[in-house]
Amino acid sequence: MPVLWAVLAIVCAICLLNLLLTLAVIRRLRQHTELINRGGARPSAQGEITLPAGARVGDFRVVTVDNREVTRDDLREGMLVAFFSPRCPSCEEQKPAFVRYASGLSGGRDDVMAVLLGSPEELGGLREELSGVAQIVIEADVDGDMSKAYGLGGYPAFCLMGQDGVLAVTGFRVDVLPGSVAR
């Protein structure tokens, strides 16, 4: 009889250990799912997906798909710069709110720049959807000039410009922008 109790105690201990390990794995999977849903973001130690608000954007020189050259000197106060990728579920989720917000800016398309990360083939649909509300810049990946200048660590990313190339507001959701409506 004592052997039976000992075996039962060992089985209970193993089941309890298994339960604890399973809970730990589930917790870790939830953290990974949150990162994936945020677009593969790798925020900095301060939790930012780009340079933080108050930082000055680095120098860059890019050409839009409309063949217009843009540099940091072209950034104006109130201008919205967004980063999207077609491989990003969070980008797809934030796209309608971005289009609504960008459509409401007084400067129209001239006050909005969308940086699309990926190959031209995979960007076709996204480029078409956003070209009505934004100037489009295409970069192959986060090593592009604008991505580096903004310290891009993931996407989607939304940056509202302040004066002299300084970031006023940054975030990975449109609802961080002033006057936006969270949906």
58-84 pLDDT tens trace: 999 999 999 999 999 999 999 999 999
Q: Answer whether residue 162 shows pLDDT above 60.
A: yes
Global pTM value:
0.73
What's the CATH fold of domain 61-176? Glutaredoxin (3.40.30)
Give the whole-angstrom CA distance, residue 155 versus residue 173.
9
The pLDDT > 90 percentage for the chain reads: 46
Amino acid 157: pLDDT = 94
Q: Side chain identity at 61, as an amino acid letter? A: R
125-144 pLDDT tens trace: 888 999 899 999 999 887 89
Q: Answer whether residue 10 shows pLDDT above 80.
A: yes
Per-position DSSP letters for 81-92, written without gaps between them: EEEE-TT-HHHH
Q: Where are the domains of the chain?
A: 1-37, 61-176
Rg of the Cα atoms in the chain: 22
Q: Which residue has the tokens 């002299």?
A: 164
